[in-house]
Each structure stands twice: as structure tokens, then as C-alpha cells.
Structure 1
Amino acid sequence: MCKKTKEQKFIMLPSVDFCFQELMEDEEVRRGFIGAFLRIPPEEILDMELLPKKLRKKYKEEKYGILDVRVRLREGEQLNIEMQSIAYDYWQERSLFYLGKMYVDQIHEGEDYDKLKKCIHVGILDFTLFEHERYYSCFHIWEDTIRDMYSDKFEIHVLELPKLAKYEYPQTELLRWAQFFGVRSREEIEVLAEKDEYIHKAYDKLEEISADEEKRLEYEERQKAIRDHRHMLASGRREGLREGLREGKHEHAVEMARKMLEDKLPIEKIAEYSGLSPEDVHRLEEQ
């Protein structure tokens, strides 16, 4: 009986990229979220089209761009929406790479530039990217002094989920979606679903995919990979800190030995006081 109750309570978390991609397959869920960050009523977003996630390569040596969710809107604008569960050292460079690839992928050689439509990159990050308190940032290409826009063809949106637990923000549709993507329990989802019809649709979709045994196995495999990767990064940071301390101690010992050599202390005493070997002290003396 207890096992059955546990099974009934299982629900996937949207911050796991596998779950996020499954959610974005649902047109109503996409419409609700896209409407929130574009600040337009979701019902006004018509004729959305899911596009292939793999971007073209022009040359053999080029990198492919593999997108999480790629959408084309009615007027031709393209969106790449990504959930990044693990901290990424070069996120800004990566997002620009994908945005640029998506932009040039719109036309073929010989076609006119007027066919190029606006491209939007949306990064939902389960880590902190910027030091400021804002959980949501939007970027364009501006002139530095008078703030004239060079072009509106590039647009980048960033949601930083960890900040939601640290600061208070005014209630908006976008905030509710950010909170939804950052939930850690079914109870949190239920509270948000009561406040927003599109999040309620996302909750229904979550229930559906969570009940699918094959999808659940894929989800748990991906969740395990994320946990293992985070553990590896944390272990690497700890080892790096220890290595840094060891290097710092060694540098201090070398500096101490040099000063004692200048004072003409015996090699044996220098080795004893500094912790270096007599051979190391001899090498310093010869330098």
C-alpha cells in the first residue's frame, strides 16, 4: 500500500532538461510560457511551429548546434528555449553561438538578407549567472551612449532560478513560470497551477508524462547523470582548493628558504625550518 502511494506521488521536476523538453512539446504549455516572457496574451500567439533541433553546418569543420526547443512564430521569428540544469562556465559564449547559428540558418547562399527574421534565445538556468538580484534579464544590441538600438534581430532572455529563494519579487506571469520551473515538490506545483491556467495545463502534462513508465526511466537516468555531474564538479572544486593550499604552502616555503640562504644559514637548518628537502634547498642555492 505504501509503495502504491509513493508511486502516485511521483512527479517529474521541470528543471530536469528531459522533463522540460517533454513539456515544451505541448503547444498550450509553449504558448503560455512564450506569452509570459514576450509580454503578450498567450491567446494572441498563433501558428507556432516546432522546428528541427539540429542546425545546419556550412563547412565540415563547423560545430553543429543542437537546440533544446526551437520554435517559429507566425511572423517568422525563431526562438531557442533551453533549460540548463548544470552550471556552465561559458554560458554567454554558448548562447551567442546558438543564437548566431539559428540566425544564419534561416537563409541559403544567394538569398537576400531581408529574409532574416528576429531570433530569440531563452536560457532558463538552474544556477546563478549574474551578481545582481534580478532573476530575469533581457538583452539587445544597443549603442553605448544614446541607447539607440542597432538591430532588434537578436534578443536574449535569461531566467536564474536559484535567485527565487533568496529575494522577493512582484507577482507576474513570468515570475510564476520561473517558480514553476524551479519547483521541488508536487505541492508547490499545485499552488502555482491554481493561479495560472497555462501552468495548470503544464501540471496536467507533467502528470501525463510522469505516469509514462518509459519516460520516467529516461527522466531518472538523466536526473542521475545531472547529480553525478554536480558531484564531480563539487569534488573537483574541493580538490582544486586543496591543491591551491598545497601550492601556496610550497611557495611560502621556497620564499622562506631563499631568505635564509641570503642570511647564509646552513643547508640542513634551512631544510628543517622550511620543510623542503636538502636537495631542493641546494637547487635554490644554485639558481
Structure 2
Amino acid sequence: MCKKTKEQKFIMLPSVDFCFQELMEDEEVRRGFIGAFLRIPPEEILDMELLPKKLRKKYKEEKYGILDVRVRLREGEQLNIEMQSIAYDYWQERSLFYLGKMYVDQIHEGEDYDKLKKCIHVGILDFTLFEHERYYSCFHIWEDTIRDMYSDKFEIHVLELPKLAKYEYPQTELLRWAQFFGARSREEIEVLAEKDEYIHKAYDKLEEISADEEKRLEYEERQKAIRDHRHMLASGRREGLREGLREGKHEHAVEMARKMLEDKLPIEKIAEYSGLSPEDVHRLEEQ
């Protein structure tokens, strides 16, 4: 049973990207979640290696890829696992960009293509991306008519957390993980932890990082930034930004970036949300 003292009320929400990345640092937690969406027993995932999050770029003007959690499995397959707490207009394009960068990052000039291994992108979204009812979608490269697979080297998984509150789904390991990531209370998490040993490990890790005062401060700063950003979207500022960018009004993007700098968001995230380059954001930070 998962019994905690009354003093331990505070617990981080796994849907906040800071908390998610902390959880994925734990090998057993990664093993349990990866096993669920790959549909293999976690015990069969023998070797996992955390890789650098920043992907290489060949030319100075190229855009960097900054990944949330990047993992290499025993046979060389690479996974990028991301928690996206805030709605993102071009999520499909962004996920393809990161998937492509991760794929080409495997080899250097002159090396053979046979060294390229499967790359998998997993997006856990705290917003709705598709209109259909399914909370989980998996994509490959198929021939349109006879459904022959062109290559299995690209694979994209999408979990949409808001749908869990709207529809009923058959119980699976993956559903339990989705419910864990989307949980809004300790009670929800405790119920799930009692049903799955790997989610129980994730709950234990969650308790550990929630009790860390320094991590709690970082988490609360990030949570505040997310709330503020959602408020800006709800108040129509995002539409104003779109109009401003279409009309070439750079100051709208700058205003949003300054607000995010005040909220201490990472430079890469500010560049993502505002449309400015990381260099422009750095210059704003120095002003």
C-alpha cells in the first residue's frame, strides 16, 4: 500500500515537463514506460543509454534540435521522449524535425547508411492534437494503397492526455502510464501505483524529487511559466503574435520572449514559443 504521512502533502505533477524529465532520469522508470509503448516486457529491455540532448548541426545557420529525453537501446535504436505541457501549433512539423535530426545525427560524412538504426519519437501531449477519440496513435511510413511499409526506421507515438477525462478505454499498461502522466492528485497516482510495479517505482521517484526543496522551486517556477503562457493564449495574445509575425511586426515576438525571460524559461523553449532565434533571445536577456 502507498501510505504517506499527512505532512507530505505536496507532490509534483508528472505532466509538468520539468518533473517528467526528472522522472525519466531513473532507469527503472524509463524501462517501464518504454516497455509499455513498445509492447514488450520491461525486463527484456536490458541496456539503455541516456544520450546528449543537443543534436549536431552541420552548418552554422542550421537550427539545433534540443531533446527532452534521448535514449539508445541495446540494438542501437534511438528514442526521443517529450512531454509537451503547452499547446503547440506546429507539433507535427516539430516532431518530424527532431526525428529527422536524430536520424541523420547517427552517422558522419563518409560512413555507410547501413549504420542507421530506427529512430522513435514519443510525444506525450497535455493538449489535444487530433479530432478522433483515440488517446494513443502510432505512425509509420506506409504505401498509400496496399499498406506496404517503406521503412521501419521512422516511428512516431503520440499520447494525448486530455482525452483520458472524456472517453473510456480498455485497461492496458500504456493506458496506466498515460493516466499516471496526466494525474492531477496524489490519490490518482497512488491507485495506479498499486496496479503496476514500474509505476510504483515512478511514484517513489516522484516522492523523492517532490521532497527536494531545490527541485521543488524549479518545478514551481516552471509551473508558473506554463500557467502564465496558457493565460496569454486564452486572452488572445497568441493571435496577436500570429498577426504581428504575418505583418512583419517583430516587436510582438520580442514582447512574448521578454515575458518568458522574466519567468525564467530555458532559452531553447523561448525560441520555440516566440519564433525568435536563440541568438535573439540571448541578446534580449543581456539588455
Could you tell me how far apart the structure 1 residues matched to 2:96 and 2:73 are? Answer: 20
Cα 1:242–1:9 change in 2 (3 A) is same
Q: 262-271 vs 248-257, which deviates more?
A: 262-271
- Matched residue pairs, number? 287
**Deviations 1:90-124, CA, capped at 9 Å, x for gaps:** 00000000000000000000000000000000000
Deviation (angstroms), 1:236: 1.2
Deviation at 1:8, TM superposition (A): 1.5
1:43 aligns with 2:43: yes
User: Is the alpha carbon distance of 1:79 and 1:272 closer, same or farther for their aligned partners in structure 2, counting shifts above 3 Å?
Assistant: closer
CA RMSD of aligned residues (A): 14.3
Which 4+ residue blocks in structure 1 deviate beyond 4 angstroms? Answer: 1-7, 237-287
| Residue 239 of structure 1, CA deviation | 7.6
Q: d(CA) in 2 for partners of 1:266 and 1:177? A: 27
- Contact persistence 2:119–2:153 (CA under 8 A): yes
- Cα deviation 1:5-58 (Å, max 9, x = unaligned): 875110000000000000000000000000000000000001100000000010
SS at match of 2:79: strand
Kindly tell me: are residues 5 and 231 of structure 1, through their superposed partners in 2, closer, same or farther at Cα, counting changes over 3 Å? Answer: farther
Contact 2:232 2:238 in 1 (8 A): no
- CA distance in 2 between counterparts of 1:266 and 1:216 reads 17
The one-character-per-residue Cα deviations of 1:141-177 (angstroms, maximum 9, x if unpaired) are: 0000000000000000000000000000000000000
Distance 1:188 1:247, change over 3 A: same
- In structure 2, relative to structure 1, the CA distance for the partners of 1:143 and 1:212 (3 Å cut) is same
- CA distance in 2 between counterparts of 1:117 and 1:152 reads 9
Compare CA radii of gyration and give the structure with the larger one: 1
Distance 1:142 1:8, change over 3 A: same
Q: Please state whether the residue corresponding to 1:248 is helix, strand or coil.
A: coil
- Shift of residue 242, structure 1, vs aligned partner: 15
Residues 220 and 118 of structure 1: is their aligned pair in 2 closer, same or farther, counting only changes over 3 Å? same
Greater helix fraction, Structure 1 or Structure 2 = 1
Q: Distance in 2 between matches of 1:192 and 1:266?
A: 32
Identical counterparts, % of pairs: 100
Residues 54 and 266 from structure 1, CA distance in 2 versus in 1: closer, same or farther, beyond 3 angstroms? closer
Question: Using a 3 Å threshold, how does the CA distance of structure 1 residues 166 and 107 change in structure 2: closer, same or farther?
Answer: same
Structure 1 pair 233–270 and aligned structure 2 pair: CA distance change class (3 A): closer
Q: Is the 8 A contact 2:164 2:179 kept in 1?
A: yes
Question: Relative to structure 1, is the Cα distance of residues 106 and 233 closer, same or farther in structure 2, using a 3 angstrom cutoff?
Answer: same
Cα distance per residue 1:201-252 (max 9 Å; x no partner): 0000000000000000000000000000000010116987999999999999
The answer to whether the Cα contact below 8 Å between 2:49 and 2:72 also exists between their aligned partners in 1 is: yes
Which residue pairs with 1:265 in the alignment? 265
Q: What SS does structure 2 have at the residue aligned with 1:7? A: coil
Aligned equivalents of 1:265, 1:180: Cα separation in 2: 25
- Return 5+ residue gaps in structure 2 as ranges: none
1:229–1:275: structure 2 CA closer, same or farther, 3 Å change rule? closer
Q: Call closer, same or farther: CA 1:43–1:236 in 2, change over 3 Å.
A: same
Distance in 2 of aligned mates of 1:25 and 1:148:
37
The CA deviation string for residues 248-268 of structure 1, in whole angstroms up to 9 with x for no partner, is 999999999999999999999
Work out whether residues 53 and 70 of structure 2, in 8 Å CA contact, stay in contact via their aligned partners in 1: yes
TM, length-normalised to structure 1? 0.82
Q: Does the 8 A contact of 2:222 with 2:265 survive in 1?
A: no
Structure 2 vs 1, CA of residues 133 and 7 (structure 1 numbering), >3 Å: closer, same or farther?
same
User: What SS does structure 2 have at the residue aligned with 1:4?
Assistant: coil
**Is the Cα contact below 8 Å between 2:118 and 2:154 reproduced in 1?**
yes
Which blocks of at least 5 consecutive residues in structure 1 are unaligned?
Answer: none
Q: Please give the TM-score of this superposition, normalised by the length of structure 2.
A: 0.82
